[in-house]
Chains A and B, each alone.
Chain A
Amino acid sequence: MSSTAVAQPLNTTETTLKNGAILLHTHQKTAPRIAISFFVRGGNLMEPKAGLSDLIDQLLLKGTEKRSQEQISIELDGLTLELDTEARRDYAVLHAKLLEEDLETSFELISDIFYNTTYADMEREKQKLVGEIAMSLDSPKSRASDQFYRKVFENTPYGRVDSVVLESLEHMNSVSELKQYAQAVFAPKNLVVSCVGNIDQKQVIALVEKYFSKQGSGALKPDAELEKRLKELAFKADEKITFPRDDSSQAHIFRGWLVPHSRHEDYAAISMLNTILGAAGLSSRLFLELRDKQGLAYNVRSNYESFRYRGLFSLYIGTEPKNIEKCLKGFQDEIDKLINIPVSEKELSDAKRNLLGRRSIMLETAGRQAAFIGTSYLQGRSLAEIAAIPSQIQAVTTADVQRIAKTYLTGPSVVSIVAASQYLK
């Protein structure tokens, strides 16, 4: 096999600091700004109540003991410090991009935000979050996606999608509950800092140790019972969930199966199956068959998402509503082909180059590198394991892809459809 795959070596080092925080440092000379992603474990997974981490995220830049919301906003914009906070299933993260001259000021500000946020405006921010979620669910595709994840991960923390958060927010009214989770989440021992840029490691270590020195509990980790529940989660039977939107022009269809997470031995093979079936771009099988040949859709694709303890493999198509059955059959036909006929050596090696090439394009900027390294680490991979992904991809065989299809795509699945009601009968 030719070795054209670009395995962009990221010279990342891992250090456990005196305060217990972990620093993932990558020296990168050409980046115009320094990208630092502050990851904290927990996310939806560990929150005692659905939506708690989303609400903390919503309140994070809204005032500390010494800075008002407006002061924080003016300081951030003045520093051109881009802060982007998000609450996810396994973690929450604050992505910062900053100039070297602003490093110290920025660390002081972020530390203040982590440790001294008052959460005083809870009621107001709760209402704003409700409004933002309502706005998002006004898109039929978002609605289809929301009910899809909700069903797939039903009754687990991974299923805490917008509509679940919306319902939970009604019963959330204790600031102390919020503060308690925030305290656990932002403890230095729970912090993973991923830094990429033209900056010395020692300098970052000093800053993280100086500004994240608060005492607190250790790294958050789910108990054995929750971990087991997520790993063993399974659908009992095929399920179909629908939602009528009478003014929707298209039918938005998701279908998905539970699959292993990213540290599982099948990760690379599932990634290859995903690339071949529907994630390569314009040349994947679903695209060629359902879009190019049958003209059923503009947007059709597959997706493999891996969380810390579980993964989801899914297909999406936006189609003319009278073609719902045709599309579901089209999905099944493509799955059957993967199960019954091994992919060719050529198709597999093309898919390998596709995945690894797109990865090197994705990692072109410091910001995306910092996010990628941190996310992979939070999914439970060591740096050595992150570096080994390309060789794991290279090792996948055509038999592996077929085995993966048989193992994971023959059992029950969940289908979610949003369309005008007349098509949902």
Chain B
Amino acid sequence: MSILDIEIPYLPEKAQVKTYENGFTAVFVPKQSDVFNISTWVQTGSLNEDEKNNGVSHFLEHLMFKGTERFKPGEFDKAMESMGAVINAATWKDFTFYYITAPKGVSDRKQTGENFDLALDMHADMMLGSTIPDAEVGPQYDPYDPNYKGEKRERSVVIEEISMREDEPWTKVYNAVNHMMYNEGHPYQRDVIGTRAIIGSIPRESICEYYHRWYSPSHMTTIIVGDFEPEVLDKQIQKAFDFKKHNRAIDPHPEMQLSDALRKMPTEKRYAEVSGNYQTSFFLMGFHGPKASNLQDTIALDIISQILGEGRSSRLTQALLEKPATPAFNYVSSGQSTFKLGNVFFLQGNFNLPEGKKPQDVLKDLEKEVTRLLNDEPITQDEFQRALKKIKVDFAETSETASGIAEAVGEAVTVARDIGAYLDYPRVLREMTLDTVHKVARDYLALDKAYTAVLVPNGEPEASEGDDADE
């Protein structure tokens, strides 16, 4: 077992990273608080999937809540929520994580409070001992068959989640861009949630197989934030996480199965339009960024995002929303999503499409701002200093909540595969120079490598409301 003492930014006490012989990692972050957070991050997501099992990581995430040998379906939810805990899980391209945030409860005897032991026990039991009962998965069915009258269980819940996401314009435009950004067959190209056909038909055995293969010690990190002594926790963790039934080999990481050809990202710009019953147009423009483990370039893009589209004084906000006499744009912002195989930097927004104009005409004003930043009007010292200060303050605030710290650590460990991506962030930010930021902007934000999708109104008039005005 190796133990690494670490300093968590803005917390007074030292934290510990423990890596056990089987490859399992635990991170203990002592924080004086009435609330604790327990989470386990697994290196599974669409990255691990192929065209046959796309969506299985997320479907499995749902099924993990459906009982173990020790606890019946629903018992975990009930036990945790009746102690006042907030529980849930999330799946994305590189990770699946499960968390419990709970009040520690009153106890004279124990520093960790009365709720902690049960929460840790049930969480570990769920992570390693889920039985994925057939009755909860539900029978296989064809989701496109209008005459299907059989039982509907968790498959149907996930299919409704797919429908729910389709009804959100932002998700729809994101999926369209995401599809263009990768070569055919790249796991990131598929929607994390999968397809209706796969969720309706994937056999329970395939899900169980996937679970036992990927939920192995070397792919999992458990993070505990709260009021405790790391020494006491160490024993408790080792006992709770025994990995008896799981693949215990120190496995290669999921991306190792990708061919070199597949790993290559497309480099030419692409554009797509999708129409729907909208009144306004939604767009998203994505750029390939550095790998999440490249902390310097990632931070430089965080700075660029602040300057381009995050603050009130940001360039896109001023140029597209505040300065024009009659702005076409209703909303605009920028951001960066971090991924193991390459981050995505994006600009997104919403506009009214003027009569006789194409979406691309409207987006010219946005592109002009990107060009300005790259060439004609580089970032000023003032803009740079404002962005640095803002990012520093935001970073400090993640330390305010137990869940904020846990998520920052979990993402660094699972996506960048390096806790340094979190721990070193303040130092790299401090040492950043404006020259580096400009170089990074030129490296990643060339407009001839932009991937853009626009949801456009299909021209059908909105239905009338049949309801009179107020008062």
Contacts and interface: CB of A to CB of B under 8 A. Distances in A.
Given A128-B327, A160-B470, A243 B463 contact: yes
B152 A295 contact: yes
B100 to A, nearest CB: 11
A386 B403 CA distance: 26
Interface string B405-424: 00000000000000000000
Nearest to B312: A73
Contact of B167 (A128, A164, A318, A359): A318
A66 interface: no
B161 interface: yes
Contact of B393 (A33, A351, A355): A33
Contacts of A76: 311-313
Interface in A354-389: 354-361, 364-366
Interface residues of A, number: 89
A177 interface: no
A27 interface: no
A396 interface: no
Interface string B104-120: 11100000001100000
Interface string A227-252: 00000000000000101111111101
B169 A138 contact: yes
Contact residue range for chain B? 35 or more
A292 B469 contact: no
Contacts of A206: none
Interface stretch (A3-11, A15-23, A86-94, A404-412): A3-11
A215 B331 CA distance: 37
B164 A318 contact: yes
Nearest to B138: A295
A77 B463 contact: no
Contact of A353 (B83, B276, B311): B83
A147 B102 contact: no
A134 B77 contact: no
Interface in A147-194: 147, 150-151, 154-156, 159-160, 163-164, 167-168
Nearest to A290: B157
Nearest to A244: B463
A297 interface: yes
A219 interface: no
Interface string B283-323: 00000000000000000000000000001111001100110
Given A6-B34, A73-B311, A77-B313, A124 B326 contact: yes
Nearest to B325: A124
B402 A364 contact: yes
17 contacts: A32-B10, A32-B400, A76-B312, A124-B325, A131-B350, A132-B330, A135-B279, A139-B169, A140-B167, A248-B167, A292-B73, A295-B160, A296-B152, A318-B160, A318-B167, A364-B401, A365-B400
Which 7 A-B residue pairings sit nearest by Cβ, starting from the closest?
A357-B84, A295-B156, A350-B82, A295-B152, A131-B330, A249-B163, A73-B312
